[in-house]
Structure 1
Amino acid sequence: MGKLYRIVLLLLFAAGWVNAMPTLTVATDVWPPFRILQPDGQLQGIDIEILHRLEQESGIRLQVKRMPWGRALKQMQTGQVDLMIGLAHTPERAQFIDYLQPAYYQCWPAFYGKREQVARLDQYSHLLGVKVGFVLNSAYFEPFDSDIRLDKHGVATEDQLLRMVQRGHLPLMIGTDCQVDYALSREPALALAKAPYRPARPITLYLGMSKRSPYQDLKLPLAQALQTLVVNGEIQQIARPYQP
């Protein structure tokens, strides 16, 4: 009877510990193949699978909250949300976001347009005098992000950019090869090509925690879980089915 009593106590303690664990909010938006919107309104994709594995590895509950990317960044500033995934590093963001190490994925910035438009774009200076579409609140590379000489046109999503370039409303767009190559493989009718010019540095993607999140003590176990997934190659396994 005493042994059974101890087992019951242990089970009750374990259940109480699980219920006491906080739920951290992960703010994000649609960005295939990392976050793909399903017909039922749910998200799936590389980042969503990574978040599920982080939950399993760390025991920390994560709740995905979809919102525009710019709003997500603002709520990270105030601590209204705890985490963002798929973050590129910038000095400005680093003022209010702690980037969990290591980075978990790498993409390359690239320029896309109709084949005849991009064929001769083989150096950065060829961007001068050409209107270039980009996604607002995104970070690509320097000097592009801060170059006031360029004629840049910002929109809310990469899908908007693809449609605008396809229809001739924009001659050129910048994107990440992970996302745009995936979109072009899924929809060949877009008929866009990648410019020969490639920036020298990749875009590395991070999981970041708001410096105003009340759950700073969970930063280390999350980072340790992330490192495990990176080191054992599991993230590459997750990503492989989504690669064009």
Structure 2
Amino acid sequence: MKSASRYRKYLVGFLFCLTNISLLSPAYAAEPSPTLAPLRAAVSEHFPHGLERKILQALADRMGRQITFMPYPFARRLDTLEKGGVDLSTGLLKTPERTEKLIFIDAHKRKTYRAFFVLKDRATRIEKYEDLYGLKVGTRIKSLYFDRFDKDDKIQKIPVTSIESHIHMLLNGRIDTFAFQEKSGLLKIAELGYEGQIITAPYKFSRTNLTHICISKKSPLANDLTDINRIIKEMSEDGTFRQITEDHYRNLQN
């Protein structure tokens, strides 16, 4: 009897310790919460499985939250985010107008190039900024590029919803060039089979951008930013965002 009692005592103690170890483990903390609704994230419809999704998925994983991705054209993505139709997004430039409806949390810095795409066999030469004058330049609705270009009313800009529209308009002679983020633009051109026909012009605009996690002020996330601010800071400082970005573009080249 004594041995049976002692066995039960040891068994209860063992199970108690095991339970506490499980509760304290990082793996447990990262499990998606079944009591919280999934986060709703807006991403580019042209790159629904691209860098933006990878960054937001890593953030949700670190938060222990499930996440649902909604691909939208750029203008609709911005509008839906501002109205609270989704909780968060990334890849948006911070402006005074946008901060009225969105919360921007600094994530990481990366250098980007805004390129001007032209037909390879045409005489369109864009070697300096001034060469844009007199050309029909394709842009995305509500998208921002760089200050000088965004504010220059002397450039004839043709706004459309998608890079696919830009590409077809360029091929059909309806525009002379279009502006787009260089790496993403080259990827989409190759994907559509026009790699040998469309190239980047010599003139490009480069800058080091702060990538932000953007949260709608109408999202429940906006009610308590303490946790998400802490997690984004950790992911920035431990190099998570940088590694995701580097891996993404390295894989594109392979």
- Fold match by TM threshold 0.5: yes
Q: How far 1:204 sits from its partner (Å)?
A: 4.8
Q: How far 1:46 sits from its partner (Å)?
A: 2.4
Contact 2:39 2:68 in 1 (8 A): yes
Contact 1:107 1:204 in 2 (8 A): no
Q: How far 1:45 sits from its partner (Å)?
A: 2.5
SS, match of residue 158 in structure 2: strand
Q: Which structure 2 residues correspond to residues 46-195 of structure 1 after superposition, within 5 A?
A: 46-103=51-108, 105-115=110-120, 116-119=122-125, 121-186=126-191, 187-189=193-195, 191-195=197-201
Q: 1:117 to 1:141 in 2, by over 3 A?
A: farther
Aligned-residue Cα RMSD (Å) equals 3.1
Aligned with residue 209 of structure 1, among 192, 215, 218:
215
Number of residue equivalences: 233
1:93-115 deviations in Å (ceiling 9; x for gaps) = 22222222223644211111123
Q: Which residue of 2 aligns with 1:236?
A: 246
Q: 1:200 to 1:18 in 2, by over 3 A?
A: closer
2-structure distance, mates of 1:241, 1:200:
22
Determine which structure has more spread, i.e. the larger CA radius of gyration: 2
Structure 1 residue runs of 4 or more that deviate by more than 6 Å after TM superposition? 5-12, 14-17
Q: How far 1:86 sits from its partner (Å)?
A: 1.9
Contact 1:135 1:157 in 2 (8 A): yes
1:148-181 deviations in Å (ceiling 9; x for gaps) = 1111101110111011112222111111102112
Q: What is the percent sequence identity of the aligned residues?
A: 22
- Structure 1 unaligned regions, length at least 5: 36-42
2-structure distance, mates of 1:118, 1:233:
37
Q: 1:152 to 1:52 in 2, by over 3 A?
A: same
1:116-152 deviations in Å (ceiling 9; x for gaps) = 3433x22222211211111112111111112211111
SS, match of residue 108 in structure 2: strand
Q: 1:202 to 1:152 in 2, by over 3 A?
A: farther
1:23-62 deviations in Å (ceiling 9; x for gaps) = 221112323xxx2xxxxxxx42322222332232232322
2-structure distance, mates of 1:131, 1:231:
36
Q: How far 1:75 sits from its partner (Å)?
A: 2.5
Q: Which residue of 1 aligns with 2:228?
A: 219
1-structure distance, mates of 2:58, 2:80:
24
Contact 2:105 2:214 in 1 (8 A): yes
SS, match of residue 181 in structure 1: helix
1-structure distance, mates of 2:175, 2:151:
20
